[in-house]
């Protein structure tokens, strides 16, 4: 699969900038033990892999607050999981549109914690780009599973 960094920048800009109205810039920033929330969707079919958005809990709260029209502290944990799952779902749908092959997208899954590491057995990370939104770091990841055939 050929997914350029420019494709990823476009997807991230469309989601965080155009849809959510948040500031966003490509920037490598260490998360340093902060609590994180990762939204992930899996793709199966002609291409197999996953697309994930891994962000700090602080950014996840801001995203949820914006989407729901609430203050960041007013969003419930369920709201935050829903919002980050949906961001991953939109990201996955946009990556899927670039694949040029028939695929299915899973419903999103959300993982929370510190020192999270996303792995899929038999898959390699083909995109791992750092961004910053509203002063908080996040990462955009694409994992590709090796084709059996």
Partner 1 sequence: MRILIVDDSKAMRMIVIRSLRQAGFGDAEILEAPDGVQALEVIRSEAPDLVLSDWNMPDMSGIELLRAMNAEGLSVPLGFVTSESTAPMRKQALEAGARFLLAKPFTADALEQALSGVVG
Between CA 53 and CA 140 the distance in angstroms is 5
Query: Is residue 14 near partner 1 by the rule CB under 8 A?
Result: yes
Rounded least distance, CB 8 to partner 1, Å: 14
Could you say which of 94, 109, 111, 125 contacts partner 1 (CB under 8 A)?
94
Contact with partner 1 (CB under 8 A) among 5, 44, 97, 114: 97
**Smallest distance, Å, CB 18 to partner 1?**
6
Packed helices 57-68 and 77-99: angle between N→C axes, nearest 10 degrees: 90
Beta-strand relationship, 25-26 and 103-105: unpaired
Task: Return the residue of 8, 53, 83, 110 that touches partner 1, per CB under 8 A.
Answer: 83
**Residue (of 26, 7, 41) closest to 143 by Cα position:** 41
Nearer to partner 1, 29 or 70 (CB): 70
The SS3 call for residue 6 is helix
Cα 100 to Cα 1: distance, rounded to the nearest angstrom: 9
Give the binding site for partner 1 (CB under 8 A).
Answer: 14-15, 18-20, 64, 67-69, 79, 82-83, 85-86, 89-94, 96-97, 102, 105, 107
């Amino acid at each position: 699969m050929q997914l350029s960094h420019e494709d990823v920048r476009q997807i991230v800009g469309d989601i965080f900038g155009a849809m959510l109205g948040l500031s966003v810039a490509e920037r490598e920033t260490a998360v340093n033990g902060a609590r994180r929330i990762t939204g992930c969707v899996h793709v199966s079919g002609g291409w197999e892999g996953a697309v994930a958005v891994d962000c700090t809990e602080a950014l996840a709260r801001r995203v949820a607050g914006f989407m729901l029209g609430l203050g960041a502290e007013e969003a419930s944990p369920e709201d935050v999981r829903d919002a980050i799952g949906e961001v991953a779902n939109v990201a996955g749908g946009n990556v899927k549109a670039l694949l040029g092959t028939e695929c299915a997208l899973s419903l999103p899954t959300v993982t929370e914690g510190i020192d999270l590491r996303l792995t899929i057995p038999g898959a390699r990370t083909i995109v791992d780009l750092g961004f910053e939104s509203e002063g908080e770091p996040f990462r955009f990841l694409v994992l590709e599973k090796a084709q059996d055939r």
